[in-house]
Structure formats: C-alpha cells, structure tokens
C-alpha cells in the first residue's frame, strides 16, 4: 500500500473516537448551556431599568349610618366630620406618612387617593313614555392605596398600617357626625316647643339609635381589589418545556459538532490509526515518554529487522509533531544497535543538503501520540522518500 494515498474505505477507529471524545467532551455541555441561555434570553422578560415591586389595594368603607334608616332617619342627610374627602387630606399629611415609614428600614413610597361618587342619576318613565331624570345624593366612596419598593417585602404591611390610620380617622369622623345629630335632637326636645307625643317618642327612639350607633361604630373598610406589578430587572419565569427544548437542541447540536470533530480529527491517536493509514509493515513499535529497557529493546529489534540487510545501518530519527527527540532514546539506540544514531530537526526545517541520501543511513519517523498530525507525517514521508532516502518506518511515543 502506498502510504501517501489515504485508504478509500471508511474505517471506524474506536481508539480515536474515544480519545477525541475524552478531550472534546466539553463541546456538548457548552452547546447545551448556550441553548439553555438562548431560551432564557428569548423567553424571559429581561429589563435594564431598576427593579421595583408595586402593590395597589382598593378599599370601600362600610356605611355605618345605613341601619339608622330603620328608625326613620334619612341617612343621606348625615355627614361625617371631617367628610370623606377631607379624611384623605389628613391621611396624606407628612406626619402620618412619616410615622408609618419610620417603622420600616427599607425604602418605601406610599400614596392614597379617594374616589368619590357624590351623586347618583335616577331615571323614571311615566305612562306616556316620557323619561324623567333626577339626581340623588350618594355616599359611595373608595380609597386606593399604592406602595412601591425594590423587592416584595414590606408593602403589604405598610398598606395595612396605612389603612388602620384611615380607620381611626373614619371612626372619629363617624362618631362626630352621629354626635351632631344627637345634639340637634336633644336641642329640639329641650327647646320648649310643643312637640306631639308620637313625634317626641320617635325622636327619643332616634336618639337611642344614634347612641347605639356611636357605641358600635368601628370605622371599618373592606378591601375590594388588589393588584401587583413587578418591573425592572425582574426575570419572568420561563416554562420548563422551553428550557428542556433548549437543552435538547443544544445536546443535538453538540453531538453533531463532536461527531464532526471526530470525523475530521487529523491527529494520530493510536497505533491502530497508524497501522490503518501507513500499513503494518511500516509500523515499528511504540514506547512511552519514559521508556523501559525492554520496550527500547523491542523497538530496536524491530528497527534492525526492517533494515535492508543485516549489516549495521545508521539511523536518523526525525521528529513529527515536536521539535526534539529525547536524548535518552537516542543514546539507548546507539548502545543497543551498535550504530550511529542521530536526531534531526523536523523535515520542514531541513534543507536539500540535509536530505541528501547517504550510504547506510536510514530514516525513522518518531511521532507523538495525540500531538503529531497525520498530514505532517504524510508530508514528511513524501519529502524524505522523494529525496532518495530509505525509510525504515514509524515509531510511536505515547
């Protein structure tokens, strides 16, 4: 077989595959990591603004004057003091805000606003089909509390504390409104005006109703909605299937790349590779970087057997894939073979005079496993052979 002509059949060198996989295994986890990262980058809500969390709650106050209608009191005429709009002004004061914020060590932004519906529109259609409109006072109020902070940590507690302050203000205002009505009724009863017995009894009943309402008043408010918002550097959760797809895609691509690396690998990985490419008769043997006496004896015997004749043949050791040959190997060959043994520079550094054929001189290529390239060995073989020199074969250093 011509050693310069690659074999035409496809050969599966499992030693080469094993060695390449051992050295290039990181390609697969790297591509998997890239696939995972791409899915993470593609599907996540990545932002560059500062991270923040926002919590908003809306409360509706309980109308504690509504039960008074059971004793004939027009509850639309009862007003809290201060009224609902002014209660928010009290709540927005710096004193109350500072009182709440001082109980937290982290940075918080708190705000509150009221949404009032001071009247309602009623419609009525008469027998002729005409529609009439009327306006009626309305006592529908709601309060919206908002809080923002870098992370979801204190806003819920802060809004609860803020809402409790509103309860206190409403309780005071509700009792004050009821107390004003009680004072008016008491003034009527003690004014000396002739009041019918039935009306007087009604007023006394209403006075007692107000007294009980003052005792039962709580200022309670009820939460009717809550919303949360995350922004900034917060990263939305990516679906597990998306991550799995990225990992599988990366695995497939990594295996394809690794297969390509194995197929296109040009390094000498084993003696089987050398025998397959250059033939059994051209392979002299193998030794380690720190060869034993016996392995050197065996390689020297193979070199002697490959010589054209049994007469002493001088050797020129040519490194492939490295610049020098261990002097210990050179000296041992001199002792064992009893001939002149010299090591030369790599072929690419030799000139025409260096390659001039000499009588009783033969070349031996010394290749280093996992470092020497097949293309380098082919090129060196061609140059030495074409220059008319005798080539005994190839020695492999593991």
Q: Is pLDDT at 137 greater than 60 in this prediction? A: no
Q: Provide mean pLDDT across the span 133-161.
A: 81
- The pTM for the full model equals 0.45
- Determine contact, residues 169/90, Cβ cutoff 8 Å: yes
Residue pLDDT, tens place only, 30-52: 988 888 888 777 665 555 556 78
Same domain? 166 vs 290: no
Please count the other Cβ atoms lying within 10 Å of the Cβ belonging to residue 196.
8
Residue positions counted in the chain: 398
Same domain? 207 vs 118: yes
Q: Provide mean pLDDT across the span 360-374.
A: 85
Same domain? 214 vs 336: no
The answer as to whether 239 is a domain residue is no
DSSP E strands, the chain: 52-61, 109-125, 131-149, 221-231, 283-287, 314-320, 341-343, 361-368, 390-397
Q: Is pLDDT at 147 greater than 90 in this prediction? A: yes
- Give residues with Cβ within 8 angstroms of 4, minimum separation 6: 378, 381, 382
* Least confident piece of the model among 100-109, 129-138, 382-391: 129-138
The answer as to whether 44 is a domain residue is no
CA 30 distance to own-chain centroid: 15
The answer as to whether 258 is a domain residue is no
Which residue's structure tokens are 């290749």?
367
Q: How far apart are CA 63 and CA 40, in angstroms?
A: 51
Helix (H) or strand (E) holding 279: none
Q: How far apart are CA 108 and CA 91, in angstroms?
A: 16
Q: How far apart are CA 140 and CA 13, in angstroms?
A: 85
* Least confident piece of the model among 130-134, 219-223, 246-250, 313-317: 130-134
Please give the residue range of the domain that contains residue 180. 52-231
At 91, list the tokens.
Answer: 């709540």
Q: Provide mean pLDDT across the span 73-101.
A: 82
CA 192 distance to own-chain centroid: 83
The residue with greater pLDDT, 374 or 5, is 374
Name the domain boundary from 211, 231, 251. Answer: 231
The residue with greater pLDDT, 6 or 116, is 116
Same domain? 192 vs 71: yes
Q: Is pLDDT at 309 greater than 60 in this prediction? A: no
The answer as to whether 181 is a domain residue is yes
Q: How far apart are CA 341 and CA 209, in angstroms?
A: 124
Single out the residue of 278, 395, 276, 398 nearest to residue 341, CA to CA.
395
Q: How far apart are CA 279 and CA 202, in angstroms?
A: 124
pLDDT at 12: 54
Residue pLDDT, tens place only, 267-287: 788 888 788 888 888 888 888
* pLDDT confidence band for 146 (50 / 70 / 90): very high
Please, which residues bridge with residue 364 across strands? 317, 393
Name the domain boundary from 231, 254, 275. Answer: 231
278-287: burial string, b at 16+ Cβ within 10 Å, e else:
beeebbbbbb
The answer as to whether 205 is a domain residue is yes
Which residue's structure tokens are 């995972």?
36
Same domain? 226 vs 276: no
The pLDDT mean for the chain works out to 81
pLDDT at 120: 56
Same domain? 317 vs 373: yes
Distances (CA, A) of 52 to 57, 105, 112, 234, 334: 17, 16, 19, 8, 79
Same domain? 179 vs 56: yes
Same domain? 80 vs 175: yes
Same domain? 280 vs 218: no
Q: How far apart are CA 49 and CA 230, in angstroms?
A: 12
Q: How many domains does the chain have?
A: 2
pLDDT at 130: 67
The answer as to whether 326 is a domain residue is yes
337-367: burial string, b at 16+ Cβ within 10 Å, e else:
bebebebeeebeebeeeebeeeeebbbbbbb
The residue with greater pLDDT, 134 or 160, is 160
The answer as to whether 334 is a domain residue is yes
Same domain? 377 vs 309: yes
The answer as to whether 46 is a domain residue is no
> Any idea what the CATH number is for the domain that residue 281 is in?
3.40.50.300
Same domain? 296 vs 342: yes
Same domain? 65 vs 209: yes
Name the domain boundary from 231, 248, 276. Answer: 231
């Amino acid at each position: 077989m011509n050693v310069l002509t690659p074999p035409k059949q496809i050969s599966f060198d499992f030693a080469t595959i094993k060695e390449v996989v051992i050295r290039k295994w990181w390609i697969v986890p790297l591509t998997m990591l890239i696939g995972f990262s791409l899915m993470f980058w593609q599907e996540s809500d990545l932002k560059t603004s500062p991270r923040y969390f926002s919590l908003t709650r809306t409360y509706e106050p309980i109308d504690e004057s509504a039960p008074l209608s059971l004793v004939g009191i027009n509850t639309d005429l009862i007003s809290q003091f201060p009224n609902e709009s002014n209660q928010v002004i009290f709540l927005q004061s710096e004193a109350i805000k500072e009182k709440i914020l001082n109980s937290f060590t982290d940075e918080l932004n708190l705000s509150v606003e009221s949404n009032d519906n001071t009247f309602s529109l009623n419609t009525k259609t008469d027998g002729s089909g005409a529609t009439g409109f009327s306006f009626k006072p309305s006592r529908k109020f709601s309060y919206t509390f908002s809080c923002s902070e870098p992370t979801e940590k204190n806003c819920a507690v802060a809004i609860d504390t803020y809402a409790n302050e509103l309860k206190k203000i409403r309780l005071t205002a509700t009792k004050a409104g009821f107390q004003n009505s009680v004072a008016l009724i008491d003034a009527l009863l003690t004014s000396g005006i002739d009041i019918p017995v039935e009306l007087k009894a009604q007023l006394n009943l209403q006075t007692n109703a107000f007294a009980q309402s003052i005792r039962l008043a709580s200022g309670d408010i009820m939460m009717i909605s809550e919303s949360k918002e995350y922004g900034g550097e917060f990263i939305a959760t990516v679906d597990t299937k998306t991550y799995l797809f990225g990992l599988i895609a990366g695995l497939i691509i990594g295996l394809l790349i690794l297969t390509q690396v194995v197929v296109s690998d040009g390094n000498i990985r084993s003696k089987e590779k050398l025998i397959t490419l250059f033939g059994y008769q051209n392979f002299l043997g193998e030794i380690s970087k720190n060869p034993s006496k016996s392995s050197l004896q065996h390689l020297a015997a193979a070199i002697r057997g490959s010589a054209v004749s049994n007469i002493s043949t001088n050797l020129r050791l040519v490194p492939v894939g490295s610049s020098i040959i261990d002097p210990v190997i050179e000296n041992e060959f001199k002792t064992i073979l009893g001939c002149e043994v010299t090591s030369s520079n790599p072929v690419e550094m030799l000139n025409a005079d260096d390659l001039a054929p000499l009588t009783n001189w033969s070349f031996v290529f010394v290749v280093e496993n996992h470092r020497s390239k097949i293309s380098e060995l082919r090129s060196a073989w061609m140059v030495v052979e074409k220059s008319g020199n005798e080539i005994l074969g190839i020695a492999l250093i593991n």
